[in-house]
Amino acid sequence: ETGVTQSPTHLIKTRGQQVTLRCSSQSGHNTVSWYQQALGQGPQFIFQYYREEENGRGNFPPRFSGLQFPNYSSELNVNALELDDSALYLCASSPGLAEETQYFGPGTRLLVL
């Protein structure tokens, strides 16, 4: 157990809808990163938040956005869902920037129909 939780575990949406995924980091972890993992692929970095501000972004369009809250929770929002957005979404927290270890949650499985 990493102490990182995510909700919901599974979600089904239709194309064009919006979705919000939630993550609760370990207490004291002020850094959270989000990853998208398509079936059979490794996780792909979406972005990182540090002290409630975006601190780095991967190759994902602006319809992927996030929020981080002072209580060690965070959100990933995806607007205008596309079929290719179907994936496992993972959040990972760490005690600070540039830590050697990130602690991953179990992920949210999103299916877009």
Partner 1 sequence: LAKTTQPISMDSYEGQEVNITCSHNNIATNDYITWYQQFPSQGPRFIIQGYKTKVTNEVASLFIPADRKSSTLSLPRVSLSDTAVYYCLVGDIRRSNTGKLIFGQGTTLQVKP
**Contact positions vs partner 1 (CB under 8 A):** 2, 4, 31, 33, 35, 40-45, 48, 50, 55-56, 58, 88, 90, 92, 94, 97-107, 109
CB of 7 to partner 1, least distance (A): 14
CB of 27 to partner 1, least distance (A): 18
Between 8 and 56, name the residue whose CB sits nearer to partner 1. 56
Please tell me the distance from the alpha carbon of residue 21 to that of residue 2, in angstroms, as a whole number.
18
- Of the candidates 40, 31, 22, the residue with the CA atom closest to the CA atom of residue 101: 31
Query: Is residue 3 within 8 Å of 104, Cβ to Cβ?
Result: no
Between 17 and 96, name the residue whose CB sits nearer to partner 1. 96
Q: DSSP letter at 39?
A: T
CB of 12 to partner 1, least distance (A): 16
Query: Is residue 32 within 8 Å of 68, Cβ to Cβ?
Result: yes
Between 12 and 97, name the residue whose CB sits nearer to partner 1. 97
Q: What does the chain come to in residues?
A: 113
